[in-house]
Structure 1
Amino acid sequence: MKVLIAGAGRLGRQIAQVMAAGHNQVTVVERDEARVAALRDVLPARLETGDACEPSVLERAGAHTADLVVAVTGEDEDNLVISLLAKRQFRAERVVARVNDEENAWLFDSSWGVDAAVPAAMPLVSLIEEATGATDTVALLRLSRAGVNVIETSITPASRVVGAPLADVEVPPGTVVAAVVRDGTPVAPAADLLLAAGDEILVVSHAATEGEVHAAFQ
C-alpha cells in the first residue's frame, strides 16, 4: 500500500514507523526543513519538504498514486485543505484527518474529502484502525499481508527496565523491537540503548500478545 502522511510531528512519525513496518511504501511531507533534515537517517520513509496544502507538493510526494492519505498536521485548516485536495484532485482511495480542536469536528466530513476524522484525544491504535479501515485490530495494527502485529507500549517511571540497556529486555519469542520513540523522535533500537521513562516502544511480532509485550517492558 502507498501511504502519504502530511505532517512529521510526533503522531506523523509514529504512523510512518508503523506503516513502514508493514512493508508499505511511506512518504512523509513536512514543511519544516530542519525537522526533515533531522529525520533523514532515522525515519524509514521517503521525506519531502514542502507545504502539503500546495497541490504541487502533494503531486511531487505521490498523491496521485496514494492508496491512503493521512493529514496529521497541528492545524485543522491545513488538514482540511490537504484532505480536500487528496480526495478531489488526486482521487486518493482513503483519506484520514486529525481533528486538533473538537469545535471544528463538524467540518471533517465527506464534503471536505475526509473519510475518517480522528479526534486529537483518540489513541494511536484507533487512528491506525481508522486509517486502514481495519475492524479486526487486536494490538496496534494487524498486518495480515505481512503476517505480523505491530504493538506499541510505553515505559513508565516505575518500570524495572528504566536505565537498562535494550539488550537486557527479554521480549517474547518471535518479537523484534522496531523503534524507540523518545521525546517525539525515533531512535534506532541499538542493543546498548539505555531505556528511559517515557520511551515509547514499537515492536513487531508474529505471535506475542499486547499483554506479553507490555509485561516485558514493565
Structure 2
Amino acid sequence: MRALIAGAGRLGTQIAQVLAAARNDVTLVDVDEDRAAELEGRLPVRLLTGDACELGFLEVAGALTADLVVAATGEDEDNLVISLLAKRQFTVPRVAARVNDAENTWLFDQSWGVDTAVPAATPLISLIEEATGASDTVALLRLSKAGVDVIETAITPESGAVGRTLAGIRLPAGAVIATVIRDGQPTVPAPEMRLQPGDELLVVSHAATEQEIHAAFQ
C-alpha cells in the first residue's frame, strides 16, 4: 500500500512509523523544514518539506499513485483542503482527516473528500484502523493488505521488562517492535533502549498472537 501522510506531528509520525513497519510505502510531508530535518534518518519513510494544500506539491509527493492519504495537520482548514484535493484531483481511494476542533466535525464528510473523519482525541490504533478501512480486526488492528497485525502493549511498574533493553527482550518469531511511545512521544526502538514504566509499544507481528506479545513484556 502507498500511503501519503500530511503533517509530521505526533499522530502523523506515529502513523508513518506503524505503516512503514508493516512494509507499506510511506511518504510523510510537513510544511516545517525544521521538523522534517529533526525526523530525517529516524523514520523508514520518504520525508518531504512543502505545503500539502498546494496541488503541485501533492502531485510531487505521490498523490497520483497513493492508496491512502491521511490529513493529520493541526489545522482543520488545511486538512479539509488536503482531503478535497486528494479525492477530487487525484481520486485517492481512501482519505482520512483529523478533526482538531469538534465544532468542525460536520464539515468532514464526502463533500470535502473525507471518507473517514477522526477526532484528535481518538487513539492512534483507531485512527489507523479507520484510515485504512480495515474490517478484519485481530488484536487491535489487522492491516489486511500487508498481512500483519499491529499489537499495542504497555509497560507497567510490575512488568518484568522494566529496566531491560529491547535487545534483551525475546519476541516471538515474526514480531518486530515498530515504535516505543515514551512521555507521549514516539521514539526509534534502538536495541540499547531500556524500557521504563509507562512506555507503550507498538509491535508488528506476522504470526504471533496478542497473548504471546504481552507475555514477552510481562
TM-score for both structures, normalised by structure 2: 0.90
Q: Which residue of structure 2 aligns with residue 117 of structure 1?
A: 117
Shift of 1:25: 1.0
1:59 aligns to 2:46 (yes or no): no
Runs of 4+ aligned residues of structure 1 deviating over 4 Å after TM superposition are: none
8 Å CA contact retained: 2:134, 2:143: no
Tell me how many residue pairs correspond in the alignment: 217
Q: How does 1:5-154 map to 2 (within 5 A)?
A: 5-154=5-154
Deviations 1:42-84 (A, max 9, x none): 1111011012112222111011211110011111111111101
Structure-2 separation of matches of 1:200 and 1:36 = 24
Distance, in Å, in 2 between the alignment partners of 1:80 and 1:157 is 42
d(CA) in 2 for partners of 1:103, 1:160:
44
SS in 1 for 2:201: strand
Distance 2:144 2:59 in 1: 29
Please give the alpha-carbon distance, in whole angstroms, between the structure 1 residues aligned to 2:53 and 2:149.
Answer: 33
Alpha carbon RMSD of aligned pairs, Å? 1.9
Q: Distance in 1 between matches of 2:207 and 2:182?
A: 26
Please state if 1:187 is matched with 2:196: no
C-alpha spacing 1:124/1:211, structure 2 compared with 1 (3 Å): farther
Does the aligned pair in 2 maintain the 1:67–1:93 contact within 8 Å?
Answer: yes
Separation in 2 of the partners of 1:187 and 1:88?
A: 36
How many Å apart are 1:146 and its aligned residue? 4.1
Shift of 1:127: 1.4
Deviations 1:59-113 (A, max 9, x none): 1101121111001111111111110111111221110011112111111001111
Task: Structure 1: state its 5+ residue gaps.
Answer: none
C-alpha change, 1:146 and 1:185, in structure 2 (3 Å) is: closer
Q: What CA distance in whole angstroms lies between the structure 2 residues aligned with 1:143 and 1:134?
A: 6
Calculate percent identity across the aligned residue pairs.
70
